[in-house]
Structure 1
Amino acid sequence: MSIKILHTADWHIGKQLLKVDFSEDMDLFFEWLINCIKDNNINVLLMSGDLFDQANPSQAAMKQYYSFLKQLLPLKCKVILTGGNHDSPYVINAPKELLEILEIKVVGGVPNDISELFVEIEIDNKKIVVAAVPYLRDKDIRNALPGESYADKIELIRSGIANYFANINEYYTTNYDGIPFIVMAHLFAQGASISESEREIQIGNQAGVEAKIFGDTPNYVALGHIHKPQIVGQSNIRYSGSPIQLSFSEKEDQKEVVILELEGSEFNISSLPIPQFRKLVSIKGSIVEVNKILSDYKSESPLTDLIELLIEEENENIEHIRMLEELLTSEAHTYYQILKGRINFKNKLVGTSVLLNAGEDIGDFRPIQLFEKRLEQDDSLEDTQELILAFKEILQKISDTALTN
């Protein structure tokens, strides 16, 4: 009998999209995942960070998490779960001792002793070892220096991350050499294809690392943070991606989990597609064309599809704006719910606003998006890139402080 491992990440329990709660989507995913573990005889479940969407998850999100773990218990599937940049290390680690009794290993943040990251698993006289590395915050990998430049900070973060994984490999070689080795990580790898729904990390993703920092020691690297499933650098370094579509920028993504099967000292790597529980759809065209598409819309999704309308008209017309507003305020359809809409007029009237955004409020924008919108309004600023980068660094420091307090 071989050891079988399932790699997943970025569950973002508690996620909402323009006030639409994705808890039903997660319930369906968890139901599918339980069956997947049963049907494929999975021995180990790896979840590489961003368990929750918020550092302080709601009671409903916590209940959904614990309910899933409860369903796992009869399956005798070992679980290793790490914290991501969205997660509070303290929230993840709070039930640590209790969960370990149930063979559920959680690593919310970087421990003082690197040995605490390593988990050795033996099944039917076969062994694997996993280094459960959570999201590495600045304080975990470098010491801030007075007067350092922005370029210095980026280089120090990159070298700090590289050094940390070099230490991981060294500890493995010293203590577990020869045992098939998996490294979990939550970070931004250069070249990865991103979406709108990932929160930037390490000062605006500027300090993204190359896949070569993991070295040749690990047999597999189970990545989290990027929501699109993809290989980075080589076939044994992968983002599993998020299990559901979290924004309209992910509407074309086929979500999946990665399955590893130990054969000898190597892993056979395959992926398994996750069913789509609802579609996120962009409908484009004139107001007449959009209305026709909506009137004919059918879906077999178990949950209501979510739609964004992207309307283009030749000439500005207040009637077209009114028609869009009516669509946005209409009751949910049997098959779909219109979440947001935008209308562009090719021929704009001078001095008038011709772009309509609906279904949004200030809470739907990230701080960096609001900051960039404010900069766009000030014509006196010629080069805003340094301001944007400085703002991102401030946000990172605030986020790290909030997550560790």
Structure 2
Amino acid sequence: MNIKILHTADWHIGKQLLKTDFAKDMDLFLDWLLDCIQQNNITILLMSGDLFDQANPSQAAMAQYYGFLKRLLPLNCKIVLTGGNHDSPQVLNAPKELLEILDIKVVGGVPENLADLFLEVSLGNQKVVLAAVPFLRDKDIRNAAPGESYEDKVALTKDGIANYFAKVTTHYNTYYNKIPFVVMAHLYAQGASVSDSEREIQIGNQAGVAASVFGEEPHYVALGHIHRPQMVGKPNIRYSGSPIALSFSEKKDIKEVVILELIEDNFTINTLAVPKFRKLVSLKGTIEEVTQKIASYSTDSVLTDLAELIIEEETENIAHIKALEDLLTSEPNDELQILKGSITFKNTVLGTSKLLSKGEAINDFLPVQLFEKRIQQDQSIEDATELVAAFKEILETLHTTDTSE
């Protein structure tokens, strides 16, 4: 039997999208992952950072995490978890010694001893060496200096990351040379395609590293932080991506895990698509078109689909804005939940100063006359009589208040 490694990352347990909880999505993914590990005889599970969405996870998020570990124990699968930029090293490391007894290695933050990153796993006559590098915070890789510029910070951060991985490579060459080598990392690699749901790290991602920073030694680099699955530079340097879509910018992404199989001294690399338990959809068009799309919407998703509404109208008017507000507060059916919406107009109403003809001035008109000019632009208002009367009433109230003070 060959060593098989499953690479995943960015679970973001506890994640909410506009107050919609993804706990059910994560439950379904973890159920699927357990079956995947069992059916594919996975030897080692790698989770490359951002286990949780918040540094201080809720009790429900922690229960979901420990519940998964408990269910995984009978499968005899080695687990290696590293901390990401969303994770608290202290929270992840708190049960570290207990989890090690259960064959679960956790590296929440950079350890004092570089050797603590490394793990050697054997199966029969096969061996693999893992370097479980967590997210590298500024304090781990550089010393801040008074008066340094933004450019200085970027350069020093890049150098610090490069130097750290050079030390990892040196340690491997010194103690494990020639054994198949896998490096875990949680960072931004130059050229990676990002989505809206990644939190900026290390000076707004300007300190992204080139793929060459990992050297030639690793047989595979298991990356976390970017939520779209992709290769970076080489087929053996990959982001597994998040297992579920975490923002509407990821709605078309095919989520996956990466499965490595050690054959002799090299890995074969294959991906396995993660089922989509719910869809994130964008409904575009006029108010009328979008309303029809909502009414006729149907899906085969296990969970309720989530929608953003993108309204595009020819001319600005109050009725369209009110209609969007009504849609955002509606509950169409069990198959669709509307989370957010926006509206744009091709022909925006002109400002008050542009209502006037050449040679006219605002002071030449009474407030009521300017108001009448304004509402004439709104084609949705067929009878302005009541609006003008209400405006006059407001003016009279203001006048009465001014004279009584």
Q: TM-score range by the shorter chain?
A: 0.7 to 0.9
Amino acid at match of 1:279: K
Residues 292-311 of structure 1 mapped to structure 2, 5 A cutoff: 292-311=292-311
Per-residue CA deviation, residues 93-137 of structure 1 (Å, 9 max, x unaligned), is: 000001000000000000000000001101112110100000000
- Whole-angstrom CA distance in 2 between matches of 1:326 and 1:153: 48
- Whole-angstrom CA distance in 1 between matches of 2:250 and 2:90: 30
1:187: which partner in 2? 187
- Whole-angstrom CA distance in 2 between matches of 1:101 and 1:351: 70
2:59: which partner in 1? 59
- Whole-angstrom CA distance in 1 between matches of 2:8 and 2:210: 21
Question: 1:113 and 2:99 equivalent?
Answer: no
- Whole-angstrom CA distance in 1 between matches of 2:318 and 2:142: 56
Question: 1:202 and 2:202 equivalent?
Answer: yes
Q: Is the 8 A contact 2:295 2:332 kept in 1?
A: no
1:323: which partner in 2? 323
Any idea what SS the aligned residue of 1:110 has? coil
- CA shift for structure 1 position 316: 1.0
* More divergent stretch after superposition (287-296 vs 308-317): 287-296
Any idea what SS the aligned residue of 2:91 has? helix
Name the TM-score, length of structure 2 as normaliser. Answer: 0.86
Question: 1:256 and 2:256 equivalent?
Answer: yes
Amino acid at match of 1:166: A
2:403: which partner in 1? none
Per-residue CA deviation, residues 154-190 of structure 1 (Å, 9 max, x unaligned), is: 1111011001001100000100011100000000000
- CA shift for structure 1 position 332: 4.9
% identity of equivalent residues: 69
Residues 32-47 of structure 1 mapped to structure 2, 5 A cutoff: 32-47=32-47
- Whole-angstrom CA distance in 1 between matches of 2:266 and 2:156: 34
Per-residue CA deviation, residues 226-278 of structure 1 (Å, 9 max, x unaligned), is: 00000000000000000000000000100000000000111000100000000
- Larger Rg computed on CA atoms: 2
- CA shift for structure 1 position 145: 1.7
1:3: which partner in 2? 3
Per-residue CA deviation, residues 174-233 of structure 1 (Å, 9 max, x unaligned), is: 000111000000000000000000000011001100000001000000000000000000
1:288–1:68 Cα change, 3 Å? same
- CA shift for structure 1 position 351: 4.2
2:401: which partner in 1? none
Residues 1-400 of structure 1 mapped to structure 2, 5 A cutoff: 1-351=1-351
Per-residue CA deviation, residues 289-339 of structure 1 (Å, 9 max, x unaligned), is: 111111111100000000000000001121111211111111251210011
Amino acid at match of 1:39: Q
- CA shift for structure 1 position 150: 1.4
1:223–1:330 Cα change, 3 Å? same
- Whole-angstrom CA distance in 2 between matches of 1:224 and 1:182: 14
Any stretches of 5+ residues in structure 1 without a counterpart? 353-405
Any idea what SS the aligned residue of 2:10 has? coil
Q: Is the 8 A contact 2:82 2:132 kept in 1?
A: yes
Any idea what SS the aligned residue of 2:333 has? coil
Q: Is the 8 A contact 2:49 2:85 kept in 1?
A: yes
* Dislocated runs of 4+, deviation >3 Å: none
- Whole-angstrom CA distance in 2 between matches of 1:60 and 1:278: 21
Amino acid at match of 1:94: A
- CA shift for structure 1 position 153: 1.0
Any idea what SS the aligned residue of 2:261 has? strand
Any stretches of 5+ residues in structure 2 without a counterpart? 353-405
Any idea what SS the aligned residue of 1:346 has? strand
Report the number of matched residues: 352
Any idea what SS the aligned residue of 1:54 has? coil
- Whole-angstrom CA distance in 2 between matches of 1:124 and 1:271: 25
